[in-house]
Amino acid sequence: MPEQLNLKLVSREYIAKDTMEFTFNIIGNAINFRAGQHIQLMIPEIYDKTKVEGTHFFSIISDPIDHETISIATRLSNSIFKRYLLNGDLNLAYIAFGPLGSFVAPASDRPLILFALGIGITALLPIVREIIPSGSRKTSLFYINNKLEEVAFASELFDLQKKHGSFNFYPYLLGGNLGLESYRTGRPSDEFVTGVLKDGQNIDVMMAGPPRQLFDIRKQLQAIGVPQSNTKVEIFSGYP
């Protein structure tokens, strides 16, 4: 059951263009959550005036074993909610409800294939952080963004790939890789994805991001034989 969290905003940091990480101190009891789950964050001052714009859902990107702070990350926009997050004083009080959702890694030892589309990385990064250090299962992450300046957490993901042989990281830029050898251009081809998957019937797939982009990836996977029953999806509504 979701529980109520009382929070105070203690830091905010740009992690990519128009993308910021927010960290809150937990006041009172913490919650037990799993990597990939999310919270419903409420700003009481806004919620009391306009119910719709006073609350928002965010993936939790902090470590589940940290019971003192909780962190989220989001693309900034001109909404009342996000302007308040960006410009409000530190130490203001917030309320959250959670944990929410079942977007967690399947309990199996099958290869895990992840597709992060833009801000969808916030749902998948905690899963990568949890699984990769143990080397318990082969994991591949396709991370697709429009432009280089929009890529968040790239340094951490490249470092994880260097340190752990069980992790493959495939970053893509739809607008071109600008000659950067570490990035691929456009979308993953059917041939390349098939080569990574090897056996589409014997893998687990998780994907997160805006609905239109998710639809395209799901069609691609179905066309190369990945059953929907092997796939978990986290939709980030409100993003192009």
Ordered mean pLDDT values, 10 residues apiece, the chain (240 residues): 90 96 94 95 77 84 94 94 90 92 93 96 97 90 95 96 95 84 90 83 92 89 86 85
Tokens standing for residue 28? 């009172």
> Given this model, what pLDDT does residue 228 score?
86
> Given this model, what pLDDT does residue 33 score?
95
Q: Which of 62, 75, 58, 59 is nearest to 30 (CA)?
A: 62
CATH 2.40.30.10 residue ranges for the chain: 3-100
| pTM of the complete model beyond 0.75 | yes
> Given this model, what pLDDT does residue 51 score?
59
Only one residue has tokens 């929009």, namely 150
> Given this model, what pLDDT does residue 69 score?
95
Contact between residue 122 and residue 151 where contact means Cβ atoms under 8 Å apart: no
Q: Helix/strand/coil (H, E, C) string of 85-100?
A: HHHCCCCCEEEEEEEE
Partners of 25 in beta bridges: 8, 69
Whole-angstrom distance, CA of residue 136 vs CA of residue 110: 10
Only one residue has tokens 């609905």, namely 211
Assigned CATH topology for domain 3-100 = Elongation Factor Tu (Ef-tu); domain 3 (2.40.30)
CATH 3.40.50.80 residue ranges for the chain: 112-235
Q: Which CATH number fits domain 112-235: 3.40.50.300, 3.40.50.80, 3.10.290.10, 3.40.190.10?
A: 3.40.50.80
> Given this model, what pLDDT does residue 19 score?
97
Whole-angstrom distance, CA of residue 234 vs CA of residue 211: 9
Whole-angstrom distance, CA of residue 187 vs CA of residue 143: 10
> Given this model, what pLDDT does residue 194 score?
87
> Given this model, what pLDDT does residue 179 score?
73
